Each structure stands twice: as structure tokens, then as C-alpha cells.
């Protein structure tokens, strides 16, 4: 009987997506929060703190992710606002993926609260809906957390399916279901279509996913490049990407950002923030044993206008000082003198440290050699005391919550 669910050619993919994850973890930890409008936000004491996520009770009032805390409280006067506890979320995530690993080893985490599973070889465990129900129930019973699961023949359709019923939904989306389940949806609801892409598509009179599926591909490529063809394929249910358990290690970039307590134009404050962000990026690069040849700066202004500027470097870098200096140069060159709300620093064009040979010429040899003893001393002290002692002295807010979240740990469940 189960064989009808498992095609001889093709795959059965799950997308497991936790519902309102941070808020749900807090409610599981403190049951008195259940049923109440709750928002998790960086700097909740500050009017300009940003909502990271919110419970479904809060969402009914219009509270949304990235919304300033002040605005969220106006919409929902009874809103409870808490700071994120990332260590708590990390431990919950680890336990969730352990439960998934009891079903199959073909798991691809994509963030702290979602991941893909390939259960094509799991016919002996029951039908896909039965397996999904079992996973959902275990997560609810053992961790007191809700999740939604999409079941489909590929990753894109599984992702779309998991969004169709929340919270605690299980949705099957087959290719024969596209015409009545997927195609009527507004184009903005398609995974992979951001606001700017949606705006371009609407100018082409593409209002729904079905319109995209039927549109002449040459027109799409003319406006969106190769991404136009890729999106049309997805709209038609075509996606040949495999569930890759090792994809978590393929870091294209490492970055972090933070929303400032107040919009500012103060040089000293901006420098302090960029230095703190550079320190965090350096720590994560060191943990991953990678070097970078590109540094990107993000600036979001008081009016939410956002610009990103990057610089390709002649040499690989790995220290916070190099990251900071490049970020400051980019800021000095591109700041429009308007108040700044958010700053971000990202290192990209990464390479493993062990695979990179620094080509030292007569001029840069002296620079690296002069710093080598300092780097070694700092590393020795860090190993002895558990963290960089100089950084603690110069950056008392080193552990300040930021609006981004690391993905470095999302394969911890394997350990």
C-alpha cells in the first residue's frame, strides 16, 4: 500500500518549518506566556528596537518581523516584548534536528528553525503523511513546539507547501496540484521572489504564480536574466536540487548587522558599531577557519532606505582590524550624511585558511611580520581565558544582541 507514495523515479521531500520559533521556544520554557501576544526583539527597551519574530496572537494585531518595537506596541498595547535568548533557541534547534535524524540521514538544515528531508528510501516507516504526523507529534510532545511540514516531489514545492497551513499544518503539494493550489497565489508569495522582483514582474502584468508559469521565457530573461528562467521553472514545479546534508558547510559569506538604539550621525558611535561588528565577523571566520577577499558594508538610513557597498581586496584578510578599516573606508566613501539606523559588515569570497598561501611581496611582508607576534599573543591569551581579553575591555557591549543570527552551528545535532 505504501508503494503508491514512493515513486520509482523521483523523490519524496519534506520541508519542516517551525512555527513562530523564538516565541514558541519562550512559551515552552515559560508556559505562562502561552496564548499571549509575544514579540522577541533586539533592544526591547528602545523605541527603535526591531521585532525578530512574534507569536500568532501578536500577529493577529498586525505585529510583523522587522517592525520597530514602538510601532508594534501601538498596534498591540498588551504586547509582551522579550530579548532573544539565542543559546536557548540553539539548544531547541539541536533537539529538533535530532528527531528528524531518527527518520533519515538525508537532512539539510537551512536555518535554525527549518530544514529539508529526503525520505524517498523510508518506505518501511510508513506513508509520507504518517511519517510527517509522527515527526510533528514528537516535536510537540517532547519539546512542546509547533511545526508545519510540506510534502512534495522537490525542495521548492515542499517549501511552498509548508507555508500553506500554519501553525501545525501538514500539506501535500504534487505537480498535478499546481493549477489549483499554487498558481492562484499572488506572485509575492512565491519563495524566491522578493519585493523588487515582484515589482518588476507586476510591471510585466504578472500578478500570480500562474501568470509567471505561462509567461514567455525570453521576456523573463530579458528583465531578470537567468533568474527569470529559474523562477519560471519553479513556478511549473521543476526543481532538481538534491537534499544535501553537507550544504551547511558551503558558506558563501559571513556577516552580521545591528540596529542602532537611536538613529545617529555621530562618527564615534558609528566607528564603535563597525568595530564591534568586525570583531564578531572575525570570530566566526576564525571558527570556520576561512579567509575573505571581499568586504561588504550595509547602511540603512532613518527612512529605511538601504544601500550595500563592497570592496574586492588584493589579498585575503582574516583580522577584525582589516575588516574594520575596509568597512570604514566604504562608509566614508558612501555615507550620504543622513542619520543611520542599521549597520552591517559581511566578509565574502571566502576560502579555507589551509588552502590559501599568502603571497608576500617585499612591501606587505613587513606589515604581516610586524603584526604576527601581536596576533599570536592575543590568540594565546584567548585560549587561556576563553575570550579575547582586549576585546572585552574595548567593547563592553560585545554580547549585545544583533538582528542577524549565525548559522554556524546548525549541524550541531550530528555531534
267 marked as binding residue: no
26, 57, 114, 282: the active-site residue: 114
Q: What is the biggest distance separating any 2 CA atoms in the chain, rounded to whole angstroms?
A: 73
Whether the Cβ atoms of residue 282 and residue 288 lie closer than 8 Å to each other: no
Residue 208 gets which letter from DSSP? B
78 marked as binding residue: no
Inter-CA distances, 274 with 172, 269, 328, 331, Å: 45, 9, 7, 10
Dist CA 328 CA 283 (whole Å): 19
The kind and range of the H/E element at 306 are: strand 306-317
Whether the Cβ atoms of residue 33 and residue 27 lie closer than 8 Å to each other: yes
Give me the torsion for CA of 334, 335, 337, 339, rounded to 10°. 150
Please say if 114 is a catalytic residue: yes
Inter-CA distances, 290 with 47, 95, 252, 307, Å: 37, 28, 11, 26
Whether the Cβ atoms of residue 27 and residue 146 lie closer than 8 Å to each other: no
Dist CA 200 CA 204 (whole Å): 7
Would you name the residues annotated as active-site residues? 114
Annotated binding site: 17, 113
Annotated binding site for Mg(2+): 17, 113
Amino acid at each position: 500500500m505504501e508503494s503508491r507514495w514512493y515513486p520509482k523515479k523521483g523523490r519524496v521531500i519534506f520541508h519542516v518549518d517551525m512555527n513562530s520559533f523564538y516565541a514558541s521556544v519562550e512559551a515552552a520554557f515559560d508556559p505562562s506566556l502561552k496564548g499571549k501576544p509575544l514579540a522577541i526583539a533586539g533592544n526591547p527597551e528602545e523605541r527603535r528596537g526591531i521585532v525578530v519574530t512574534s507569536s500568532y496572537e501578536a500577529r493577529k494585531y498586525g505585529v510583523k518581523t522587522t517592525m520597530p518595537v514602538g510601532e508594534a506596541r501601538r498596534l498591540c498595547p498588551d504586547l509582551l516584548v522579550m530579548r532573544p535568548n539565542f543559546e536557548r533557541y540553539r539548544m531547541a534547534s539541536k533537539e529538533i534536528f535530532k528527531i528528524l535524524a531518527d527518520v533519515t540521514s538525508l537532512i539539510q538544515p537551512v536555518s535554525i528553525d527549518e530544514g529539508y528531508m529526503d525520505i524517498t528510501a523510508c518506505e518501511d516507516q510508513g506513508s509520507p503523511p504518517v511519517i510527517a504526523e509522527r515527526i510533528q507529534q514528537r516535536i510537540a510532545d517532547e519539546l512542546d513546539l509547533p511545526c508545519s511540514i510540506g510534502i512534495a516531489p522537490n525542495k521548492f514545492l515542499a517549501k511552498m507547501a509548508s507555508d500553506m497551513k500554519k501553525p501545525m499544518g501538514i500539506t501535500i503539494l504534487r505537480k498535478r496540484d499546481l493549477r489549483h493550489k499554487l498558481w492562484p497565489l499572488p506572485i509575492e508569495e512565491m519563495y524566491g521572489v522578493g519585493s523588487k522582483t515582484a515589482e518588476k514582474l507586476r510591471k510585466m502584468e504578472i500578478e500570480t504564480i500562474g501568470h509567471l508559469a505561462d509567461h514567455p521565457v525570453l521576456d523573463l530573461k530579458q528583465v531578470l536574466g537567468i533568474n527569470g528562467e529559474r523562477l519560471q521553472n519553479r513556478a511549473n514545479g521543476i526543481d532538481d536540487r538534491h537534499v544535501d546534508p553537507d550544504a551547511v558547510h558551503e558558506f558563501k559569506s559571513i556577516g552580521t548587522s545591528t540596529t542602532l538604539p537611536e538613529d545617529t550621525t555621530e562618527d564615534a558611535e558609528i566607528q564603535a558599531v563597525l568595530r564591534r561588528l568586525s570583531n564578531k565577523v572575525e570570530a566566526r571566520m576564525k571558527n570556520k577557519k576561512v579567509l575573505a577577499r571581499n568586504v561588504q558594508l550595509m547602511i540603512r538610513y532613518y527612512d529605511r532606505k538601504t544601500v550595500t557597498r563592497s570592496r574586492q581586496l588584493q589579498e585575503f584578510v582574516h583580522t577584525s582590524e582589516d575588516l574594520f578599516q575596509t568597512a570604514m573606508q566604504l562608509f566614508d566613501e558612501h555615507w550620504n550624511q543622513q542619520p543611520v539606523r542599521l549597520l552591517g559588515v559581511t566578509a565574502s569570497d571566502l576560502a579555507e585558511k589551509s588552502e590559501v598561501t599568502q603571497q608576500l611581496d617585499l612591501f606587505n611582508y613587513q606589515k604581516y611580520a610586524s603584526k604576527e607576534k601581536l596576533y599570536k599573543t592575543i590568540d594565546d591569551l584567548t585560549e587561556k581565558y576563553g575570550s579575547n581579553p582586549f576585546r572585552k575591555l574595548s567593547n563592553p557591549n560585545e554580547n549585545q544582541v544583533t538582528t542577524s543570527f549565525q548559522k554556524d552551528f546548525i549541524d550541531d545535532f550530528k555531534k
